[in-house]
Structure 1
Amino acid sequence: MRNSPYRDGQIFHRSDGKWMLTYHQEGLGEQDRVKEFANRGIRRCLDDDVPVGVLIEQEKKGRKSSYLVKGLATVDDWVGDHLALSAAVTNGEPSERTRTFQDILTADAEISSQSSVVEIPDDYDARLRVERTIVARRGQANFRSEQISSLDGACVISGCEVRAVLDAAHIMPYKGTASNVVSNGLLLRTDLHTLLDRDLLAIHPQTGEVHIAQSLQTTEYGGFVGMTALSGHNLEVRRKALEIAWDRYRRMTGL
């Protein structure tokens, strides 16, 4: 939208007919994911794989605007204040989901050597850039549902039960649908999910205790140090994945 405080991305068209874009959530902060009605609705679309309609503003005169009906899109990812959307239908057929901002930034790599693709402007790339160490996958609806059921619908560290800010986090990095298993998942509050993906947080595979990087121990996150996040069966079924993540955490933090 023109003259808006929100920074929506431009539409990127691929030669295979698929289009993608980023959309700024309503509101400018993490708290608005829960506060704003529109954001709660979009979150449900993300969780339940429900397409959304995309309208592109063409002209604004006073309070009146004209729009181009772009079509249906899937909500593939939500990082920070932005959502990744991609065409739900191309050439009359359902299109494969793109899933993440990382995918949007690299989507043309496979076809760039064989065909002409619209270039992504530098400012678009800047708006989308997410640190490569963060692979923010909300996962498939089934993966999320399984984690909610397995872990009683609460963040294993903070105890938060607000579904709108809970993520089905992968303990080991996402590498395809085979990663979407209970033994490789945790239910985490969004900010704690980010710390996990940045190797600033880990759960000890033997004790289930929370460890936080030294650089964060004087912050609010220091209060989680030593808490028991997992125990019993929940710890046991995730132990192998936690061991791999623990080794990575130790290397990254110099333990």
Structure 2
Amino acid sequence: MKIYVGITDKDWYEQLKAQKPEEVNFWKPGSSNFKALEPNDMFLFKLHHPANFIVGGGFFVRFSLLPSFLAWQAFGMKNGTTSYEELQKRIKKYRSRNGINSDNAPIGCIILTEPFFFDEHDWIPVPIDWNPNIVQGKTYETTTELGNHLYCQIHERLQLCNNANFNDQKSRYAESLTMHRLGQGTFRIVVTEAYQRRCAITGEKTLPVLEAAHIKPFSENGPHDIKNGLLLRSDFHTLFDDGYITINSDFVIEVSKRLNEDYGNGKDYYRYHGSKLQSMPSSSVELPSQEYIMWHNEHCYKG
């Protein structure tokens, strides 16, 4: 297992610690990629020098380059700011400090699930090899002495802090992305990325009108699971949730005759009837589950 120790502001840490969120966005002002971790690896929060302590962490889901408006829509205050305006100010401040000129460039979003935050008496001093000149972070392997010692310290703190049982967490974070306990914001981003930022039905790629739809609604115990998601244009999302549109087990679109009966129109939607989805995940583990499709066909679709 890899552990990445990333540097962050105390304000970011304190705001999120007070929220106790189920997910967080550890964002970066620039658009450089982040390849240090694989899904399920551990990401730890270290405060800026001279506060050389690890104060919490979470489990890595994915890295995405997102426009700031989408980062705010997906995560809101779980970005570690109280408003979108504050997020914009912090982005601008760090871009200015780091010589990043573009105001419109996407921000790097390191998306973490099930974060944990330590009280000050449980803060962990950085490993002895930590260099104060590090500006972003450092990776440790649990197969090394330092990495294993750090892992054991985190393990101990989580047990002492009476957080979610760490052994249960380890068993839950298996190799598949679908094993994550995703939050609503993370669900939106992983679905958006899985469908290449295109509406599954129309191929539309204008981000502000694309929404992550649950096939089995969350209100009906449908999980925030990528296999329970479709990326849909907002009007198709509404019709899908209301049962006027569905997909079958072959990923073919069906539009109910009730749409015309109930609203006296629908020709712009009927032209998609019988067509296959235009955009689909490239990975088989991200395709819609037959179980959720069947549920929508039987309990929601007005066929």
Which TM-score applies when normalising by structure 1? 0.44
- Choose between structure 1 and 2 for higher RCO, CA contacts under 8 A separated by at least 6 residues: 2
Specify the structure having the higher radius of gyration (Cα). Answer: 2
As a proportion of its length, which structure holds more helix? 2
Which TM-score applies when normalising by structure 2? 0.37
